[in-house]
Amino acid sequence: MPNVPSDRPRRISVQRQGPVLVEGPVEIELEDGTTVSSDRFRVALCTCRRSRRYPWCDTSHRKRG
C-alpha cells in the first residue's frame, strides 16, 4: 500500500441489526493480537458476537422462529 492518504474516507455501513459492512480489503487485529485479513470488495463484521467465524458475519444474528 502506498503511504498516501486515500482520496476519500473509507465507507462503513452500520445497522441496528446485522453486521457492520466495511469496504475491503481489510486487516483486523483481534483481542489476542493476531490478525486476519480479507480482500473481498466488502466484508461483513459480526456485531452480535454469535458468529462461529468471528470476526466475520455468518448470519447468526438472524431471528429464529
Partner 1 sequence: MAHDHAEPRLPAARGPLSAAVQEYLLGAGPLPAPEQVTDADPYGDDLQLALYLCYELHYRGFAGVPADAEWDPDLLRVRAALEERFLAALRADTRVPDTVDEAVEALLVEPVEGNGVSHFLRDEGELWQLREYAAQRSVYHLKEADPHGWVLPRLWGRAKAAMAAVEFDEWGGGRADRVHARLFADLMADLDLDTGYGHYLDDVCAEALATVNLMSLFGLHRSLRGALVGHFASVEITSSPGSRRLAEALRRTGAGPAAVHFYDEHVEADAVHEQVVRNEVIAGLLEAEPHLAADVAFGIAATDTVEDRLATRLLADWRAGRSSLRTPLDAPHHAPQTSHSF
Q: Where do contacts with partner 1 occur on this chain (CB under 8 A)?
A: 13, 18-19, 21, 38-44, 52-53, 56-59, 62-65
CB of 52 to partner 1, least distance (A): 7
Taking the least distance from each CB to partner 1, the nearer of 5 and 65 is 65
Determine the Cα angle at 4 with ends 24 and 20, to 5°: 25
Looking at beta carbons only, is 1 or 4 nearer to partner 1?
1
Contact 24, 43 (CB under 8 A): yes
Burial of 57 (C-beta count, 10 Å sphere; 0-12/13-18/19+): buried
Q: Name which of 30 and 53 has its Cβ closer to partner 1.
A: 53
